[in-house]
């Protein structure tokens, strides 16, 4: 047993060393820098950097926009992907083609995705061309309050296929005997949905919710390519703030902002896992 464990350690060693060098060590160094007043030998400054970040109007604006984006996009994504998964779990026309079309955005590069949305919403894009054709004024979509809706639609379109796959796996793992027994006992489709499907799909739903929330914090690439370094105020996200701090070499505020964002993500994940654990205990 001990000999097999040593072999496993040797096989895992390259991955562990790489993970430590490129993730753990930089993370620890970043946390340390957030408590200093300067890079390379800076003095301990306590929570001064965190207070400066919290007092920054740019940070508060970025944090509010990020929370707003997550609060809108994640529930919309879960609802839409669940409905699509339920639809594709049945015998519908062109089911195979529909499954492929939903999965296709997962394999498309981010730059291509952004280019597609630029074709639609650019000043000289397709949507403005239609408006001009019907004698309507052009709209600078990325410099308006509707820019948040564009980012939400792009996020949902990019990630809905992944969630549909997860929900389909969860739906197909529910034994058919439960539905047959419920039909014999006189339960209708709505009762089967709430008392069988949702109950046994809850673990999958928690996982999908967790992954969707994490992915919502990664929307910076699309927003950056679509709107640039300093986008319209409504889509100025936390990643924009940290990216601008990096360009100005303000490493202390950058690491402090990153630590605050990480803390929020950890709290959200811990809360979801706690709710899932309690729900699992109730089922048992």
pLDDT digits (tens, 9 = 90+) for 180-218: 888 888 778 888 887 888 888 888 888 899 889 888 888
What was the pLDDT predicted at 36?
84
Q: Where are the domains of the chain?
A: 56-283
* pLDDT of 43 strictly over 70: yes
Model confidence over 118-155: pLDDT tens digits? 888 877 778 888 888 788 888 888 888 888 888 898 88
Which CATH architecture fits 56-283?
A: Orthogonal Bundle (1.10)
Report the predicted TM-score, pTM, of the whole model to 2 decimal places: 0.82
Residue by residue, what is the 3-state secondary structure of the chain? CHHHHHHHHHHHHHHHHHHHHHHHHHHHHHHHHCCECCCCCCCECCCHHHHHHHHCHHHHHHHHHHHHHHHHHHHHHHHHHHHHHHHHCCCCCCHHHHHHHHHHHHHCCHHHHHHHHHHHHCCCCHHHHHHHHCCCCCCCHHHCCCHHHHHHHHHHHHHHHHHHHHHHHHHHCCCHHHHHHHHHCCCCHHHHHHHHHHHHHHHHHHHHHHHHHHHHCCCHHHHHHHHCCCCCHHHCCHHHHHHHHHHCCCHHHHHHHHHHHHHHHHHHHHHHHHHHHHHHHHHC
């Amino acid at each position: 047993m001990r000999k097999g464990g040593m072999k496993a350690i040797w096989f895992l060693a390259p991955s562990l060393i790489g993970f430590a060098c490129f993730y753990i060590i930089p993370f620890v160094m970043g946390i340390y820098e957030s408590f200093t007043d300067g890079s390379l030998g800076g003095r301990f400054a306590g929570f001064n950097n965190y207070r400066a970040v919290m007092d920054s109007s740019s940070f508060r604006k970025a944090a509010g926009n990020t929370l707003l984006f997550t609060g809108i996009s994640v529930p919309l994504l879960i609802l839409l992907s669940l409905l699509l998964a339920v639809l594709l779990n049945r015998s519908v026309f062109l089911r195979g083609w529909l499954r492929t079309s939903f999965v296709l955005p997962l394999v498309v590069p981010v730059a291509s995705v952004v280019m597609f949305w630029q074709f639609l919403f650019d000043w000289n894009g397709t949507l403005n061309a239609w408006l001009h054709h019907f004698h309507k004024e052009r709209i600078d979509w990325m410099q308006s309050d509707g820019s948040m809706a564009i980012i939400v639609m792009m996020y949902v379109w990019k990630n809905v296929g992944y969630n549909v796959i997860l929900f389909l796996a969860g739906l197909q793992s529910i034994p058919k005997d439960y539905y047959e027994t419920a039909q014999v006992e006189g339960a209708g489709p709505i009762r089967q949905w709430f008392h069988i499907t949702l109950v046994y799909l809850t673990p999958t739903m928690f996982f999908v919710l967790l992954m969707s929330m994490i992915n919502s914090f990664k929307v910076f690439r699309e927003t950056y390519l679509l709107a640039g370094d300093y986008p319209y105020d409504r889509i100025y996200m936390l990643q924009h703030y940290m990216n601008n701090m990096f360009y100005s070499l303000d490493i202390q505020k950058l690491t402090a902002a990153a630590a605050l964002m990480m803390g929020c993500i950890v709290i959200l994940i811990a809360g979801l896992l706690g709710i899932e654990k309690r729900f699992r205990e109730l089922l048992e």
